[in-house]
Chains A and B, each alone.
Chain A
Amino acid sequence: MNLDEVDSKIENWEPKIIAFLCNWCSYAGADLAGISRIQYPPNVRVIRVPCSGRVDPFFIIKSLQAGADGVLVSGCHPGDCHYLTGNYFARRRFTILKNILEYIGIEEGRVNFSWVSAAEGEKFATVIKEVTESVKALGPAKRLIKRFNYRKL
């Protein structure tokens, strides 16, 4: 979404959150939450990935640039990665990336991470609630969004 639109729609604004979910755990966790009819906010758009280790920092940043108000990356608990160590390596990358983003001024709470297993439907719903609330509290994302200020030279 274009930021100028977001600004004008601020009153009935609902955050858009992009969630990158690992196929082997969090994605199945989301499924379980659904099957179990656990309620959670409808603000997330899910993108299934083979492993949290597949989540390139580009994905996160590109989401923010394209207008996401929040991002969630969720994978298997440490020790449970389908590929054994994918999430361990990813964890270090996420740590560094999250620190950089917050350091340059992206608000804490825009970019989130969680470990949710296939059996944790309940936890999945809680994470989504928490993330949605924190993003709502921050309001529409303004930083890093591409604005197309085409008249400015």
Chain B
Amino acid sequence: MEIVERIREEARKALEEKKVELIIGFEEGSLPLRTTPAFIKSIDAVERLIWNATCENNLANYLLRLKIKGKVGIVAKGCDARSIINAIKERQIERDMVFIIGVPCTGMVDRKGIKERFDEAEILEAIEVNGQIKVKGERFEGSFNISDFLYDSCKTCTQKTPSLYDVIVGDEVKEREDVDEFREIREFEKKSPDERWAYFTREIESCIRCYACRNVCPLCYCKECFIDQSRPQWFGRSIDESDRMIFHIIRVFHTAGRCVDCGACERACPMGIDLRKLTKKVEKDVVELYNYKAGIDLETVPPLATYKEDDPQEFIK
């Protein structure tokens, strides 16, 4: 049976048996290469659920965002499941209040990457067949291997099969062991501080402070974000370079030991800002210094909630 059929079947069962109040999944979007989050509350609506390589949103976000009473079913990819693990660990949700329909994921397709191929010409139609995306525009047609056009976060993902689920639909995907997920960061670290500063100021220059990066993130659930604090106000809300940069520094600091590299922030950013250059750096440091990866299991204590007496401290005088 196809994955989508199995998702629907599980969703139907869960709703029928009144195991859950609703199922959060994906349905057809309104634009080519887009799907959209769906909130399925009745058995009739189950047919709306779909599954393909454009189911890019991290649905775990909604478990924290929506104040849902009762148990919730959720369609979860590898990274979504990691985010759910985080949320359980951080006591934001209870394990038995979510019903996880795990989907082994083969990666999500980078729609911007495909669009760039056609410059300003618009893609009018896109369909997925056997690992390929066929796109059509007014004066062109093209066909791409999905595996060549994955999001950066999907390219280096090592947790494609959810590590936490109630049911799993589809066969386990072979995890990659040969990826060097921090290679780009190491390269970037070699640049001089001036070059790095120039790079980030240029990136941040187009930030419009819409906070989509924060709001889509499955970690950003603070009742009041530091950037919104006004009594006292820590940082300004204008587009001043310093304030913008600080927003990004502290946001990424707050992801330490928590970011699952789902890539949601970078995808959401309307201005195409290279946010992963920041999140991945912190992820790398946490791995190297404290040997911790977020969202892998429910037991290991998060790195900033613990310490070791002999933690590295060469930089301290």
On A, residues with C-beta under 8 Å from B are: 57-58, 61-62, 65, 78-79, 85, 88-89, 91-108, 112-115, 127, 130-131, 143-149
Task: Determine the distance from Cα of A116 to Cα of B199 in the docked complex, in whole angstroms.
Answer: 37
> Does any Cβ of A come within 8 Å of B197's Cβ?
yes
> Does any Cβ of A come within 8 Å of B72's Cβ?
no
From A65, A79, A89, A113, B246 is in contact (CB under 8 Å) with A65
The list of the 5 closest CB pairs from A to B, nearest first, reads A105-B197, A114-B317, A88-B307, A105-B196, A113-B316
Q: Closest CB-CB distance, A15 to chain B, in whole Å?
A: 17
From A94, A97, A101, A127, B317 is in contact (CB under 8 Å) with A127
In the complex, what residues of B have CB within 8 A of residue A144's CB? Answer: 242, 245-246
In the complex, what residues of B have CB within 8 A of residue A147's CB? Answer: 240-242
Check A102–B193 contact: CB distance below 8 A.
yes
Check B285–A96 contact: CB distance below 8 A.
yes
Q: Closest CB-CB distance, A86 to chain B, in whole Å?
A: 10
> Does any Cβ of A come within 8 Å of B311's Cβ?
yes
Task: Determine the distance from Cα of A104 to Cα of B275 in the docked complex, in whole angstroms.
Answer: 12
Check B240–A57 contact: CB distance below 8 A.
no
Check B282–A92 contact: CB distance below 8 A.
no
From B195, B240, B282, A96 is in contact (CB under 8 Å) with B282
In this complex, how many residues of chain B approach chain A with their Cβ under 8 Å: the count is: 42
Check A103–B281 contact: CB distance below 8 A.
yes
Which chain B residue shows the least CB distance to A90?
B307
Which chain B residue shows the least CB distance to A126?
B317
Check B197–A97 contact: CB distance below 8 A.
no
From A95, A103, A127, B312 is in contact (CB under 8 Å) with A95
> Does any Cβ of A come within 8 Å of B59's Cβ?
no
Check B235–A65 contact: CB distance below 8 A.
yes
Check B245–A79 contact: CB distance below 8 A.
no
| In the complex with contacts A95-B315, A145-B242, A104-B307 CB distance below 8 A | no
From A104, A113, A130, B197 is in contact (CB under 8 Å) with A104
Per-residue A-contact encoding for B297-317, CB less than 8 Å = 1, 0 else: 000000110011101110111
| In the complex with contacts A88-B309, A91-B311, A146-B316 CB distance below 8 A | no
Q: List 18 A-B contacts (CB under 8 A).
A: A57-B250, A58-B226, A58-B250, A61-B246, A61-B250, A88-B309, A89-B304, A95-B285, A95-B311, A95-B313, A96-B282, A103-B281, A112-B317, A113-B317, A115-B316, A131-B317, A143-B197, A147-B241
| In the complex with contacts A112-B317, A143-B197, A104-B256 CB distance below 8 A | no
> Does any Cβ of A come within 8 Å of B234's Cβ?
yes
Q: Closest CB-CB distance, B302 to chain A, in whole Å?
A: 10
Q: Closest CB-CB distance, B113 to chain A, in whole Å?
A: 26
Check B307–A58 contact: CB distance below 8 A.
no
Q: Closest CB-CB distance, B312 to chain A, in whole Å?
A: 7
Q: A105-B200, A114-B317, A147-B241 are in contact. List 9 more A-B contacts (CB 8 A).
A: A61-B246, A65-B242, A79-B309, A88-B308, A92-B290, A99-B282, A101-B249, A104-B196, A104-B200
Q: Closest CB-CB distance, A134 to chain B, in whole Å?
A: 10
